[in-house]
Amino acid sequence: MPNTDMLDQKIDRLLELVSSTTKKIRMEIMVHKDLGLTGPQFHTLYLISKEGTCKTTRLAELLEVKPSAMTVMIDRLVHNGFVARCNDEKDRRAVLVSVTEVGKQALDKGKAKAKEVLHRYFSHLNQEEITFLVDIYEKLNSVQIANKANEQKSK
């Protein structure tokens, strides 16, 4: 592990780079605005798609928001035709949400735009650098998951 001063310098630089680079890339990817979605709505739509049909409470957990806030988000997505609600046959009290065809089309457009932008950036990296970058993010994600699990155990 690097010495503390060097690590602090690297962290400072990384904070600058992550902030500016991520902001620039996100600005280029912002196709969700053209689709009539906010960033959080697009992310919610993505999570519903990834989860399949799911409960609002599950989405609230994933996004770490209150169920009432999630209900408001889902209301807007339903109103705009991106998701649909249905009753849970196993639990009548529960309501399930799923992505509609309109929502799937919006996700496809968003993913295509994101891939187009990232291809442009990644074209300046060689295969080894891309693999290394993905491996680093995988490792950081694992640390994040472990930290979250430890936090929940200590509650």
Residue 57 in domain: no
User: What is d(CA 146, CA 138) in angstroms, rounded to the nearest whole number?
Assistant: 12
Residue 1 in domain: yes
Structural domain total, the chain: 1
Residue 35 in domain: no
Helix (H) or strand (E) holding 86: strand 83-87
With a pLDDT cut of 70, the percent of the chain lying above it is 98
Rounded (10°) angle between helices 56-63 and 67-79: 110
Residue 24 in domain: yes
User: What is d(CA 29, CA 52) in angstroms, rounded to the nearest whole number?
Assistant: 24
pLDDT tier, 2 (very low <50, low <70, confident <90, very high otherwise): low
In total, the chain counts a number of residues equal to 155
Q: Residue 14's domain spans which residues?
A: 1-30
The string of pLDDT tens digits covering residues 43-93 is 999 999 999 899 998 999 989 899 999 999 999 999 999 999 998 788 777
User: What is d(CA 45, CA 51) in angstroms, rounded to the nearest whole number?
Assistant: 10
